[in-house]
Amino acid sequence: MGIVGSSPRYFYTLVFLLLFSLNPILVAGDDNSHCDNNPVYRKVLIKNWVNDKKHEDIIGVEAKFGTQPPADSSDALKRSAFLSNPLKGCASSSSKFVDSVVLAMRGECSYTDKAKVAESSGAAGLLVINENEELPQMVCTENDTSLDIKIPVLMISKSAGESLMDPLASGGRVEVLLYSPDKPIVEGSVVFLWMMAVATIIISSVWSGADARNQDPSDPGFKNEDAEESVELKTSSAIIFLVTASAVLLLLYFVLSKYSIWVLVVLFCIGGTTGLHACIVELILRLFKGCGEFKVELPILGEASILAIVLFPFCAALAIFWAAHKNASYAWICQDILGMGMMMSGLRVVKLPNIKVAAALLCAAFFYDIFWVFISPYIFHKSVMVEVARGTKAGGQSIPMLLSVPRFFDPWGGTAIVGFGDVMIPGLLIAFTYRYDKLTQRLNLKGYFLWLLVGYTVGFIATYLALYLMKGKGQPALLYLVPSTLGLIVILGLVRREMRTLWSGIEMPSNSDDEEA
């Protein structure tokens, strides 16, 4: 419900296309002393102290040769760090670095030559400083397949290297500790993320189901005036989605920058404010049915309820606060609140009429996710979806169209995320099953709604399990969520011999004859 009571159908249709196109996606071994050009990255944490003062941990990437640091920091030793002389580390040094870690700049000779020189000087480890912020993996040459290096060799970024080199160059003392902890299979942030996603779907489904039922016309405070403003998708929507979403994603891949990402921030603030406002107004109207009776006539805007007018500035203030502090450690809370409100309102407005349309849309999204994550690197040399989701060209600023929770209990830190599309696309199908169960008077497991919530949970778990098994390589969540929801309802429909009814759908009660868009 907007301030002026105008229909949000066109706004949410456009927002849905944008959200779908911005669907973000959601290292180990025993002995690597011999050369092994396996492409899997293994990251290493580098604790460091400058003049006995603890500094922020540095992340490095292990070479495909050399030994691996221990998995537990208690098993690792704190060692002094020294600069290689010469700095490139390609020639033997007159200095001996017994039981120390050597820092060398990248260039002039191969990584394996640097490792041999460092090891011959008695070093206990080698940190190679890259020329930029990227962390390419150090691999062996064709002549080094039998190489036997007994020290850990790591690549660190230019800025990280400078943070260690500068104090050493000025006579300071630097100490480092290298270890590579395993990522936990289950982390609390992932559970909390799942709870937010499921809560969004459940509330949206109940809200959508309430809109499908005729309200009592004698009760204006409880009557949902926007129930007639829903957008009922057609089969052709799948093709429109596939083409439009791909075009938007490609556009962002080529033009995304620190400045253009603010366009997405503004759109997110508008959608988040509108969505959260609609959710709060609806909740208050259901708790206090008479609140919607008090209305005023505004110039230009027309008639609006006093409740909507009072609440709108608070929702807008939250969005503005988030935009001003979007890089703060606590910004994820505001982003998730706005995002959940936006998705709930979107799932309430946009509806699926039957499984036929659901199958077309979810299958299109299924192949869309797979293509732009796994196949696009063969065309564009990089995964288009991953690059846009990470905001690589925007200075690492990620797009706001996602739910995120910091990994508080993960030694690697970071953030657990799920894209809006990973909630909304399966959510459309689950919301349909809720309305279907209500109209057919199905209860509990005799219906389809609870089963699809279980299926969504299974797909969600499978996504993060695949992420863990693939050592953090980006995974298209819909690869797992579509089979676990759409596949499940098809199986249940066939077993119950109700597939024909599900395929054509049951006509939903409505106050409007114009529901198709």
The domain locations on the chain are 43-179, 188-213+230-258+333-504
Beta strands in 75-124 (DSSP E): 79-83, 101-105
Q: Is 156 helix (H, G, I), strand (E, B) or coil?
A: strand
Which residue has better confidence, 409 or 458?
458
State the catalytic residue, choosing from 182, 422, 437, 513: 422
d(CA 373, CA 477): 10
75, exposed or middle or buried, with CB in 10 Å at 0-12, 13-18, 19+? exposed
pLDDT digits (tens, 9 = 90+) for 480-491: 999 999 999 999
Segment among 155-159, 302-306, 316-320, 466-470 with least mean pLDDT: 302-306
Instruction: State the Cα–Cα distance between residues 26 and 422, nearest whole angstrom.
Output: 9
Q: Please, are residues 143 and 123 in contact by the beta-carbon 8 Å criterion?
A: no
Q: What is the pLDDT of residues 156-210, one digit of tens each?
A: 999 999 999 999 988 899 999 999 888 777 778 889 999 999 999 999 999 877 7
Question: 198, 201, 143, 154: which is closest to 176 by C-alpha?
Answer: 154
Q: Are 63 and 154 in contact (CB under 8 A)?
A: yes
User: Which of 480, 379, 362, 449 shows the shortest CA–CA distance to 20?
Assistant: 362
Select which of 226, 336, 369, 437 is catalytic.
Answer: 369
Question: Distance (Å, rounded) from C-alpha 433 to C-alpha 446?
Answer: 12
Judging by beta carbons within 10 Å of its beta carbon (0-12, 13-18, 19+), is residue 216 exposed, middle or buried? Answer: exposed
pLDDT tens across 490-503, in order?
Answer: 999 999 999 999 99
- 435-463 pLDDT tens trace: 999 888 887 888 999 999 999 999 999 99
Q: How far apart are CA 263 and CA 251, in angstroms?
A: 13
Query: 452, 485 in Cβ contact below 8 A?
Result: yes
Name the phi and psi angles at 155, rounded to 5: -105, 130
At 60, is the secondary structure helix, strand, or coil? Answer: strand
Q: Which residue has the tokens 């100490």?
A: 175
Q: Which residues are within 8 A (CB) of 318 and not within 5 positions of it... i.e. 6 or more apart?
A: 272, 273, 276, 334, 337, 338
Q: Which residue has the tokens 């050009």?
A: 37
Q: Which residues contact 120 (CB under 8 A, 6 or more apart)?
A: 92
418's enclosing H/E stretch is strand 415-419
Interval 14-37 mean pLDDT: 48
Can you give the pLDDT at residue 18? 56
Q: Give me 46's structure tokens.
A: 């580098």
Exposure letters 379-418 (e unless 16+ CB within 10 A, then b): eeeebbbbbbbbbbbbeebbbbbbbbbebeebbbeeebbb
- How high is the pLDDT of residue 31? 37
pLDDT score recorded for residue 225 = 47
Quick one: how many helices (H) and strands (E) in the chain?
A: 16, 13
Arithmetic mean of pLDDT over the chain: 81
Predicted TM-score (pTM) of the model is 0.78
- Partner residues linked to 59 by β-bridges: 45
Q: What is the pLDDT of residue 480?
A: 94
**Pairing verdict, β 295-298 and 53-62:** unpaired
Q: Which has the higher per-residue pLDDT, 467 or 405?
A: 405
Q: 123-171, pLDDT tens digit by residue?
A: 889 999 998 888 887 877 656 555 678 889 999 999 999 999 999 988 8
* pLDDT per position as a tens digit, 80-102: 999 888 888 888 776 678 889 99
Number of other residues whose CB lies within 10 A of the CB of residue 110: 15
* Whole-angstrom distance, CA of residue 319 vs CA of residue 315: 7
- Residue 422's pLDDT is 92
**CATH number 3.90.1150.10 is the correct assignment for the domain at 43-179:** no
pLDDT of residue 515: 40
Q: List pLDDT tens digits, range 369-384.
A: 899 888 988 998 888 8
Q: In terms of C-beta density within 10 A (0-12 exposed, 13-18 middle, 19 or more buried), how is residue 210 classed?
A: middle
For helices 488-495 and 355-370, what crossing angle results, to 10°? 150
- Residues whose CB is less than 8 angstroms from the CB of residue 504 and which lie 6 or more positions away in sequence, other chains included: 354, 356
Tell me the C-alpha distance between 415 and 412, whole Å.
10
- Any idea what the Cα angle at residue 125 is, between residues 122 and 126, rounded to 5°? 105
Q: Which of 64-68, 363-367, 503-507 has the highest mean pLDDT?
A: 363-367
Q: Tokens 């941990």 label which residue?
A: 57
410 is catalytic: no
41 pLDDT band, cuts 50/70/90, is low
Residue 218 CB contacts under 8 Å (≥ 6 apart), including other chains: none
User: Using 50, 70 and 90 to split pLDDT, how confident is the model at 318?
Assistant: very high
pLDDT tier, 107 (very low <50, low <70, confident <90, very high otherwise): confident
Is 182 considered catalytic here? no
pLDDT at 217 exceeding the cut of 50: no
- 8 Å CB contact between 430 and 370: no
| Selected residue with higher pLDDT from 442 and 391 | 442
Residue 53 clears pLDDT 80, i.e. is over it: yes
Sign of CA dihedral 377, 262, 319, 188: positive
Please give the pLDDT value at position 386.
80
Are 181 and 155 within 8 A, CB to CB? no
Mean pLDDT (whole number) for 329-351: 91
Query: Token pair 């912020």 is at which residue?
Result: 133
Number of other residues whose CB lies within 10 A of the CB of residue 73 = 16
